[in-house]
Amino acid sequence: MTISLVIDLAVLAASVVLLQAYLGRRVANPSGLPYPPGPKPLPLVGNLFDAPKHDSSKIFSAWGKQYGELVHMSMFGEHFVIINSLRVAEDLLEKRSKKYSDKPVIPLIELTGWDWNLGLLPYGDRWRVRRREIHQQFRAEKVDDYAPVVMKHAHQLLDNLLNTPANYQSHLKHYVGAVILKITYDYDVAHEDDRYVYMAERAAGIGGTLFVPGGTLANVFPILCHLPAWLPGMEFKRQAEECMKLTTEMRNMPVEYVKRQMKSGAPSACVTSELIRRFSNSNGLSTDSEDVIKDVSAVAYAGGAETTAASLKTAILIMLLHPDATREAQREIDSVIGNARLPTLDDRGSMPYVDAFFREVLRWHPVTPLSVPRKASEDDVYEGYFIPKGATVVQNTWAIHHDEQLYDEPSMFKPERFLERDGSLSDRYPMTLFGMGRRICPGRYLADSAIWAAIALILAVFDIAKAKDENGRDIEIAEAYTDAIVSHPLPFACSIKPRTRGAESLVREEAGAVQNGTA
């Protein structure tokens, strides 16, 4: 059988399946009410050709201005509802959270091995058990205990930036990985090319690209998942196979490391060891308990590493593009801290502008512009529009963070929007960055602490400016981002230099204390 015949048969079979699905779904609106407004769908394929292939959050935001705060589109009978305002997000995801806490069935989630991820699990008992455990380990009070780990690795980050500033992106990823892996597994990350860091980064990168609406037709056309990976157009399946190996290793390998440490008698104080001790009985761990431990531990790293690193890359980009705000934050640090020491987490309440700068980093470009998709678990009617059971519901966080009704001149970087008139810090916080309702990120307190610490220390120690080309001219930087579930700035060059010799000395002293074990 030739390749072309295989493809023709697959397309024919797919067409039959799609036609059946379409005919079955197109009469599935018993209310007689209209769907929310949106671009006009074509027969059978729906809005396949309207679905954005890049800048999804911005295109959906533009749709919001054209069609309204709630936008509907469909592909092959599958319904998608995009929320473009805080008002509607609160109404649906907070006030009606019972209806909007489930997750859509995305074939690529299982195919890539991400089906243990708390953020992607369907709403139910399995999700509740894991959510409860991860909340206990990363609630606000518990995160205070992790402050020494955060600060130790933040100081290591400064030393790395001082030694090899051109590798700043790798250093940021190393910092985040070191913090989370130490807290979760009591594991010390290798200085370079750490296997655990690589696994999470690569697996998250593949999944983030394939899971977004329009990422691959296989999400609305599951029959494609059964075709061999060597066929033309099956790149998604080859990526999924690679991802499956990584996610399996990422879930199992670190827990086995902790078990070995505990068995050898080495002191181990971390999330995983605490869970193992608590779940163990005279017969050891049950299979179900071990699954919970592996899932909770792995999601702590998988859920936080990629997003936190992306936030810090955005912070560096902002320090480069907005020197006035950067200098204002540095002036406050100099005034409050002086030049005899570096900032600590205990100084946070004394530096409102630095905190406002940090909050504006989170708002200006949210790391998950479309959050993580949800599914309507039952039919619903909202303001006269019908939202069918099974519809994929997308919170457009980028649109919310750039809503002129909430934020004046939203495209501008303005930390003062989070300050009161007297210069004190306001109660405003871009919490929508972490999702809403029952699906809000349980690791948000650790992310908040780790991002703030890194930003404050980098501001205190370094001046960040445009890099020069071989002719001494500034290399211009574009505000360009990847289009995936977790959105990173595209790589950019910059100059990172210590502000003063005194600042450099402080970094060296702290690094020496860490190496000597006296920090």
What is the residue-wise DSSP string for 454-492?
HHHHHHHHEEEEE-B-TTS-B------B--SSS--BPP-
Closest CA to 316 of 444, 178, 458: 458
Q: What pLDDT score does 165 carry? A: 96
pLDDT at 388: 96
CA 478/CA 486 separation, integer angstroms: 19
**100, 123 in Cβ contact below 8 A?**
no
Higher confidence at residue 294 or residue 111?
A: 294
Quickly tell me which residue has 């597994």 as its tokens. 185
Between 65 and 202, name the one with better pLDDT.
65
Output the pLDDT for position 215. Answer: 66
Q: What is the predicted pLDDT for the residue at 519?
A: 59
Query: What is the overall mean pLDDT for the chain?
Result: 89
**Pairing status of strand 494-498 against strand 462-466:** antiparallel
Question: For the chain, how long is the longest CA-to-CA vector?
Answer: 77
84-93, 219-228, 247-256, 354-363: the lowest-pLDDT one: 219-228
Whether pLDDT at 16 is above 60: no
Whether residue 318 has pLDDT greater than 50: yes
CB 115 within 8 A of CB 121: yes
pLDDT band per the 50, 70, 90 thresholds, residue 5: very low
Q: Which helix (H) or strand (E) holds 387?
A: strand 385-387
Contact 428, 295 (CB under 8 A): no
Fold of 3-516: Cytochrome p450 (1.10.630)
Query: Higher-confidence residue: 145 or 30?
Result: 145
CB atoms closer than 10 angstroms to residue 500: 12
pLDDT at 163 (0 to 100): 96
pLDDT confidence of residue 517: 66
pLDDT for 510: 84
Report the C-alpha gap between 290 and 502 in whole angstroms.
Answer: 50
d(CA 304, CA 302): 6
pLDDT at 476 over 80: yes
DSSP 425: B
Provide the CA 283 distance to its chain's centre, in angstroms. 38
Structure confidence at residue 484 (pLDDT): 82
Q: Identify the pLDDT of residue 458.
A: 98
Going by their DSSP bridges, the two strands 392-395 and 78-83 should be labelled as parallel
Residue, of 11 and 320, whose pLDDT is higher: 320
pTM to 2 decimal places: 0.90
Q: What is the pLDDT of residue 3?
A: 35
Confirm or deny that 441 is annotated as ligand binding. Answer: yes
